[in-house]
A and B are shown apart, each in its own frame.
Chain A
Amino acid sequence: MKEIISHIWQIAKKDLIEFSRDRIRLVTFVIMPIFMMVLTGFIFPSQTTLKDVPIGIARLDNDQISEQLIKALKNLSMKDSQPAFNVKTYQSEDEVKEGIKKQEISGGLIVPEDFSTKLAANGQAQIIIIEDQANPQISAITTQVLEQVVNTFSQQIGTQKVGYLLQKEKVVPSGEAAEKTALAFLKPITTKLLGLIEGETNYFEFVAPGIMAMVVMTAVMTGLAGSVSREKEQGTLDGILISPISRLAIILGKATSQSIRGLAQGVIVLILAILLFGVKIYGSLLLVFLLLILGIFSFVGLGILVSASAAEQETATQILFMFQFPMLFLSGVFFPIQQMPKIMQQISHLVPLTYAIEALRKVMILGAGLTDIRTELIILFSFGLITLAIAMPLFRRMITR
């Protein structure tokens, strides 16, 4: 046993020394996670806020009331006191539609001709919101915000009207109390949003754990397969194989060096996320590392399987690509898997990366503790154990064909 551990360490140490002297591999090792972070950080829009989104407005009634509504829209700001909308004026509904077709604007709002007259006659007026179906992501938020603005505006008018009635009928004494009661009549129930942590989370806090898990685990899988097939091709693997050492020590030595590399890459991602994108970790850092290590463990078996079966480096890379690509989308790195169809969600849960990412999110964003991620830990560990148990005998057979 002591011998095996010494052999594992010898092989791991040798791999790491070799790696540390390979400048090209060192550079890609650092660049790759930076690349991933920066790309996802800047390409994916932060979807909860609107900033300077162009919308078109056609005001067909020319009355004061609708002008107030437009003013409210123009003054709306969601973040950093930047206007949410860049309002453009159009003359008709058709012009607004044309504007959307040309993608000049990401949505439109029509105030019909009879808007003010209906309001004045205590009737129910209507505002038309036109959505940009070519752009569902932005459109969803835009229309939601537009509706909110119109609703709030509508509520204000309603409160004034009912307040006036209440005062006139002497239900309440003063004007101020009248408005309050009116509001209570119109909106008897309010909601309050309470998060588990203070402040707002951004999209990046959502993707950071995913990217971290993904970078670490693909690094381990590709690294392991690549390292074994490289030694196979160069012939140095023969030197290890003819040594009277346990075959387990050989593959575990390789796995150890790759895991250390993977962890180092994970740390790079974490540091970048904190420094560059202001990601905060609400849970325990120790737990984050434990999860990364278990995540790596869950992938080592698969990595061994690939490296044993692929005779050449190129084949190994191709097999890995086949694995990784669907995994990226299935494991919910970029989108919550809850948004996927039921069947895809079930497939998702066959991928260990999914559990690693879910657990990392719980710890990093929600500050979850050890007991909260117990299930994920057990699943990751079992997955690793089972794949390792399958991979080891296969590895033994395949290296001496």
Chain B
Amino acid sequence: MEDIIEVENLTKKFGHFTAVDNVSFKVKKGEIFGFLGPNGAGKSTTIRMLTTLLRPTSGRARIAGYDLEAQQDQVRRYIGLVAEKIILYDRLTADENLQFFGRLNNLKPAVIKERSDRWLRRLGMEEWRNHQVGTYSTGMKQRINVVRALLTEPDILFLDEPTLGLDPQTSRLIRDFIAEVNETGATVILTTHDMHEAETLSDRVAIIDCGKIITLDTTENLKKMVKNISNPTFEDVFLTLTGNTVRDIASSRITSASRRWHGRPTNRVR
């Protein structure tokens, strides 16, 4: 399989703080690639760089064969993004939002209509399409938000913690939908701090902490790394990979790591 994303030594510094530290990886065409890590690990920063929203401090990346820095406009034609914050206008209806973002991507109104019809029906949002987004629940907003990201039928779909703060039913619906979209050929890059989500969706997972990729492998292989636990979960994997090595140095680090793991960013609620 060819690599649709190639990342080489990507680094992002905010002042003296290094949020993403010399990260390299490749994503194969058609796979679901998971980025698993606690809050503040650098997942969103990586996604923002790969979607042209942040300028890398150093390093390079090729997206769909185009250079991330030199060919931003071409890169933008191949990607869709579900970011940390929901990209929808509260005072516009779902339809108006979709038309607006579709038109910015040079889609004809009829094409936008046809695609959104299909996906709104799939996600059970058809009857809400003419209501202002501000009146929706978070779960409803996120469903429209996913449709928006898919309007161009992008080759690569970036999802930054797409199920964060959603009720279990909607999370399930969105995960299933992501899998379906992937079936049709789209490459998916997904970040999450939910180990179950990473496990069920991803073909390969990169575990990232403190801006560094600690491990990158298939979910199967990652589980095999934990030999001493029968039927290991992803949490065991993470603890083995990060916690155990640190545990020898200072036990307090673990508690802070696991707290970060379970903590939720507060800026998500709108």
**A interface vs B, CB < 8 Å?**
3, 6-7, 10-11, 14, 17-18, 21-22, 234-236, 238-245, 400-401
A238 with B83: in contact, given A7-B104, A243-B101 (CB under 8 Å)?
Answer: yes
The one of B54, B76, B81, B103 in contact with A244, judged by C-beta atoms closer than 8 angstroms, is: B76
Contacts of A7 in B (CB 8 A): 103-104
Determine how close the nearest CB of chain A comes to the CB of B61; give it in whole angstroms. Answer: 14
Once the chains are docked, how many angstroms separate the CA of A110 from the CA of B202?
A: 100
Contacts of B240 in A (CB 8 A): none
Q: Does B210 contact A (CB under 8 A)?
A: no
Once the chains are docked, how many angstroms separate the CA of A96 from the CA of B171?
A: 86
The one of B52, B86, B89, B92 in contact with A242, judged by C-beta atoms closer than 8 angstroms, is: B52
Q: Is the CB of A10 within 8 A of B100?
A: yes
Q: Is the CB of B76 within 8 A of A235?
A: no
Determine how close the nearest CB of chain B comes to the CB of A156; give it in whole angstroms. Answer: 73
Q: Does B85 contact A (CB under 8 A)?
A: yes
Q: Does B88 contact A (CB under 8 A)?
A: yes
Of chain B, the residue at the smallest CB distance from A3 is B106
- Can you report 10 A-B residue pairs in the complex whose CB atoms are below 8 A from each other? A21-B132, A236-B88, A238-B81, A239-B83, A239-B101, A243-B104, A244-B106, A245-B104, A400-B55, A401-B55
Contacts of A240 in B (CB 8 A): 104
A14 with B76: in contact, given A3-B106, A238-B83, A243-B104 (CB under 8 Å)?
Answer: no
Given contacts A236-B88, A242-B79, A244-B76, 16 further A-B contacts (CB under 8 A): A10-B103, A14-B100, A17-B91, A17-B92, A18-B89, A21-B91, A234-B85, A235-B85, A235-B87, A238-B53, A238-B81, A238-B85, A244-B73, A244-B74, A400-B52, A401-B55
Most buried by B among A11, A241, A242: A242
C-beta contact mask, B58-82 vs A, less than 8 Å → 1, else 0?
A: 0000000000000001101101010
Contacts of B76 in A (CB 8 A): 242-244
Contacts of B3 in A (CB 8 A): none
- Contact residues of B: prevailing secondary structure: loop
Q: Does B96 contact A (CB under 8 A)?
A: yes
Contacts of A242 in B (CB 8 A): 51-53, 76, 79, 81
Determine how close the nearest CB of chain B comes to the CB of A271; give it in whole angstroms. Answer: 27
Q: Does B6 contact A (CB under 8 A)?
A: no
The one of A6, A11, A235 in contact with B86, judged by C-beta atoms closer than 8 angstroms, is: A235
Most buried by A among B54, B77, B89: B89
Interface size band for B: 20 to 34
Once the chains are docked, how many angstroms separate the CA of A240 from the CA of B97?
A: 11
Q: Does B9 contact A (CB under 8 A)?
A: no
Q: Does B105 contact A (CB under 8 A)?
A: yes
Q: Is the CB of B79 within 8 A of A22?
A: no
Once the chains are docked, how many angstroms separate the CA of A240 from the CA of B88?
A: 10
Once the chains are docked, how many angstroms separate the CA of A240 from the CA of B148?
A: 12
Determine how close the nearest CB of chain A comes to the CB of B79; give it in whole angstroms. Answer: 7
Q: Is the CB of B85 within 8 A of A6?
A: no
**Which B210-231 residues have a C-beta within 8 angstroms of A?**
none
Once the chains are docked, how many angstroms separate the CA of A234 from the CA of B55?
A: 20
A244 with B83: in contact, given A10-B100, A14-B89, A18-B89 (CB under 8 Å)?
Answer: no
Once the chains are docked, how many angstroms separate the CA of A400 from the CA of B50?
A: 12
Of chain A, the residue at the smallest CB distance from B96 is A17
Determine how close the nearest CB of chain B comes to the CB of A202; give it in whole angstroms. Answer: 42
Contacts of A244 in B (CB 8 A): 73-74, 76-77, 105-106
Q: Is the CB of A22 within 8 A of B91?
A: yes
Determine how close the nearest CB of chain A comes to the CB of B7; give it in whole angstroms. Answer: 17
Q: Is the CB of B103 within 8 A of A6?
A: yes
Determine how close the nearest CB of chain A comes to the CB of B116; give it in whole angstroms. Answer: 15
Once the chains are docked, how many angstroms separate the CA of A7 from the CA of B107?
A: 11
Once the chains are docked, how many angstroms separate the CA of A244 from the CA of B151?
A: 13
Determine how close the nearest CB of chain A comes to the CB of B156; give it in whole angstroms. Answer: 12
Q: Does B84 contact A (CB under 8 A)?
A: yes
Contacts of B270 in A (CB 8 A): 234
Of chain B, the residue at the smallest CB distance from A19 is B91
Q: Is the CB of B52 within 8 A of A236?
A: no
Determine how close the nearest CB of chain A comes to the CB of B220; give it in whole angstroms. Answer: 33
Once the chains are docked, how many angstroms separate the CA of A137 from the CA of B73?
A: 62
C-beta contact mask, B229-270 vs A, less than 8 Å → 1, else 0?
A: 000000000000000000000000000000000000000001
Contacts of B105 in A (CB 8 A): 243-244
Of chain B, the residue at the smallest CB distance from A231 is B89
Q: Is the CB of B132 within 8 A of A241?
A: no
Once the chains are docked, how many angstroms separate the CA of A14 from the CA of B96?
A: 9
Q: Is the CB of B52 within 8 A of A241?
A: yes
A235 with B84: in contact, given A21-B132, A242-B51 (CB under 8 Å)?
Answer: yes
Once the chains are docked, how many angstroms separate the CA of A14 from the CA of B87?
A: 14
Of chain A, the residue at the smallest CB distance from B74 is A244
Give the top 9 A-B pairs by smallest Cβ distance, nearest first. A235-B85, A239-B87, A243-B104, A244-B76, A21-B91, A18-B91, A244-B77, A10-B103, A14-B100
Once the chains are docked, how many angstroms separate the CA of A250 from the CA of B87?
A: 16
Contacts of A234 in B (CB 8 A): 85, 270
Determine how close the nearest CB of chain B comes to the CB of A269; give it in whole angstroms. Answer: 26
C-beta contact mask, B34-58 vs A, less than 8 Å → 1, else 0?
A: 0000000000000000011111000
Contacts of A243 in B (CB 8 A): 76, 101, 104-105
Contacts of B73 in A (CB 8 A): 244
Determine how close the nearest CB of chain A comes to the CB of B68; give it in whole angstroms. Answer: 11
Contacts of B55 in A (CB 8 A): 400-401
